[in-house]
Amino acid sequence: MEMLQNIITFFAQTFIIVLAIIAILLTIGTIAFKSRNQKSFEIELLNEKYEDQTQALKEAMLSDSEAKKERKRSKKEEKLKEKNSSDDKSRVFVIDFLKGDIKASESENLREEITTILGVATSKDEVVVNVESPGGLVHSYGFAAAQLIRLREANIPLTICVDQVAASGGYLMACTANKILAAPFALVGSIGVVAQVPNFNKVLKKHDIEYKEYTAGDYKRTVSIFGEITEKGEAKFKEQLELTHALFKSFVARYRPKLNIEQVATGEFWYGETALMLNLVDEIKTSDEYLLAKSKQHQIVKISFEQKPTLSDKISGILTKAVTLTLEKMIEQNNITKRM
């Protein structure tokens, strides 16, 4: 009886919380609706970041009087740099593509970042993209690579840095660069295509479950999860994989003409040092090392673009949190033990 009362209390509390949230959202609804498509755009001047960090370390190792002298010297040097600085100093724009999931979800942000850069960059500038991805869906990474090609077509030098991994779809992106840098143990390559389809048709037959699939077109479905896999369908499926692989190889060869494509398009991956010997990359160097060296003569500008959560995302998050907290409270009151 007590348990039933607690359950009723739980739903009552949740309902009250939901009503309160809806009331608040209705109050600010107009403002939220207007701003739901707002996007976060951030600019960071890496030259200043590097200089501030170096200066902080210098001062930390000095006595108070020496640190005071160092600050004066640094300010004097900074003013001299500003006086002698040239407005036509070339710039290096930095973009991160570091969460390369299977759907290349960062592609939308990448598109906005590149569109913004194209509005100000010239052929004297350079774009550096840090790519980290083991690959994923063909069309998703094809779209990401297409964004990078926009820079090439605008005659803006493009450098791709691979600190950890650029394999399969990740390398599809990397190969579009004028220059590819890789850390010594970065994973590079995997120029191949894979498809995995579990099939439960035999299980259905064993339990006398009939499954029907209706299509129009001989190859609308070649292989599926529940349907019977025929020789004709399987042959077509393999043919499609080979065509995709051929397209992948052709794309890489177009942007890496010195590469022996048949040698490397086996689906294998290599570490940075070996990748250099195979012409998959052009230089062994980390992104930090490259950018720090560039900062001596260039203005380094890092830009990042992120879509802010929509109104529905916010509502969903608030409601989920409210229900979770209420449920946890009820569980605690009834001493229910949770086990992994």
Structure token pair of residue 192: 């191949």
Q: What is the pLDDT of residue 210?
A: 75
180 beta partners: 160
CA atoms of 39 and 221, how far apart (whole Å): 40
Q: What is the pLDDT of residue 34?
A: 44
In Å, the largest CA–CA distance within the chain is: 88
**Which residues are catalytically annotated?**
168, 220
Neighbours of 17 (CB within 10 A): 17
The length of the chain is 340
CA atoms of 29 and 37, how far apart (whole Å): 14
Q: Looking at 30-125, which runs of residues are DSSP E strands?
A: 39-45, 91-97
CA atoms of 326 and 316, how far apart (whole Å): 15
Q: Is the pTM of this model over 0.85?
A: no
Q: What is the pLDDT of residue 275?
A: 95
Neighbours of 59 (CB within 10 A): 15
pLDDT in tens, the chain (340 residues): 554 455 556 555 666 665 666 666 555 554 444 444 556 888 888 777 766 666 666 667 766 666 566 666 666 666 656 555 555 678 999 999 998 888 888 999 999 999 999 999 999 999 999 999 999 889 999 999 999 999 999 999 999 999 999 999 999 999 999 999 999 999 999 998 887 778 777 777 778 787 777 777 777 777 777 777 777 777 888 888 889 899 999 999 999 999 999 999 999 999 999 999 999 999 999 999 999 999 888 899 999 887 666 656 556 566 556 655 654 565 455 544 433 3
Structure token pair of residue 199: 């099939």
Angle ∠(142,104,240) on CA atoms, nearest 5: 45
Q: What is the pLDDT of residue 48?
A: 74
